[in-house]
Amino acid sequence: MTARTAHTAQIVEIRSRDADRSREEILRAAMTEFADHGFGGARIEAIAERAGVNKKLIYYYYAAKDELFLAVLEQSYADIRAAEHELHLETSDPIEAIRSLVGFTWRHYLAHPEFLALLNTENLAKARHLKRSTKVKSMHSPFVEMIRTVVIRGVESDLGEVRVADIEELLLYCYRVAGTVGLMMTAALDVTTPEALPHAIDLGIAMQLTNICRDVREDALIGRRYLPLTLVGALEPSLLVDPTGPVRETAMQALRTLLDLADRYYASGAQGLVCLPARARTGILVAAELYRGIGVMLRRREYDCWSSRAMVGTAGKAAITLRVFAETVGRPRSGNVRDRGARSHRDPLLPFAAAWSTKAGVAD
C-alpha cells in the first residue's frame, strides 16, 4: 500500500466514524424531542439544534420524519434488548430468571421514561411505524425464544410426584407457575407503577390456589398432592382420588382454608387494578372474577370437588361479565393503589409478594 493510498484510507475511516457519531447524536436528540412533544409536535429544526447539526444532514440520513421516528423506536428497543442479554436469563434458575427480568424491566422504565413516552406515542398511532420494522421483529424473536426456554425449564421442574409440605411451599409453587405470569403481564401491558407488581403476583397466586382446590382429584390421579401436609397430614395422593369418611372431611376443611386464603389474594390483586391501562382493566377483572367464581361454586357444593368438576356456566359467566362492566364504569382511568386509599400491601397475611418486590429492587 502506497503512502497516498494509506492516507486516503485513513480519511475514509475518520469520515465514517464522524458519520456514525453524527447519526447517533441525531438519534439521541430525536429521542428526546419525540418523547417530549410526541410525533406530531416534534420539529426537525429542534432536533437539528439539539444534535448540533444542519437540518439537511438529518434529511440526508432519513428521508422523512416517519423514518427518523422509526429509527428512534428501533434504537430504543435495541438498547433494552442489549441490556436484557447481559442478564443471562437462559442459564438462571427459572424463578430467579423471571424475577430478574421483571425487576430489570421496571428499573429500565424508571431510568428511561422517554422509552415509555415513545411507546405511548406509537400506541396512539396503532403501531403504524413498528408494523413495518423488520429490525424490531428480529430483535423480539431471540427474546421470545429465551422466555420460552425459561418457562419450559420451570414447567419441567414440576413434572414429578408432588407432596406439598406446608402453605409456604404451596405459595412458592403458585408464584412459580402463576405469579410470574402476573409479572410478565405488567410488562406486556406497559404498566408504569412499580407498586402494581406485588398485586399482579397476588392475582396469579389467587387463581392458582383456585385451580388447586378445583383439581384435587385430577392431580391425585397423576400422583400429586398439593393440599399441604400441615392441613391434611401425610396423605398419599391415591387416598384423595375418591376419599370417604374422615379423609374426605379433612380434605374439605383444607379446601375451605385454601379458598379463604385465595380470597385474600384476590382482594390484593383487585387493589392493583387501578394501575392497569383502561383498555386492559376490565378484561383482567372479568378473568379474575370468573376464576373466583369457581371457588364460589365449590363453597355452594360444600367443598365437594370429586363428584364433578366445578365450573362457572354460561349464564354465570354472562352475569359476572355484566357485573364487572357495571362496576368499572366511572372508575379512575389510571393512577396507583394509594389513589383509592387501599391499605398497604405489606400485610403480614400476604407475605409472599411483598417479599418478592423487595428482592426485585422495586419496592417503595
All three cell numbers of 252, joined, read 374439605
pLDDT at 2: 58
pTM reported for the whole predicted model: 0.62
Domain span holding position 261: 160-364
Find out whether 234 and 319 touch, Cβ atoms under 8 Å: no
Q: Which residues pair with 163 in a beta bridge?
A: 225
- Asked if 153 and 94 touch (Cβ cutoff 8 Å), the reply is yes
Run of H or E residues at 224? strand 224-225
Q: Comparing C-alpha atoms, which of 177, 203, 161, 207 is closest to residue 94? A: 177
For residue 33, CA distances in Å to 20, 26, 125, 133 come to 20, 10, 17, 21
Q: What CATH number does the domain containing 268 carry? A: 1.10.600.10
In this structure, are 174 and 106 located in the same domain? no
Name the residue among 143, 133, 141, 125 with its Cα closest to residue 71: 133
Residues 199 and 332 in one domain: yes
Q: Kindly give the pairing relationship between strand 162-163 and strand 224-225.
A: parallel
* CATH number of the domain residue 143 falls in: 1.10.357.10
For the stretch 287-318, pLDDT in tens is 999 999 999 999 999 999 999 999 898 888 88
Are 314 and 191 in the same domain?
A: yes
- Tens-digit pLDDT profile for residues 149-204: 777 776 666 667 889 999 999 998 888 788 878 877 887 777 767 778 889 889 99
Q: How many CB atoms lie within 10 A of CB 105?
A: 19
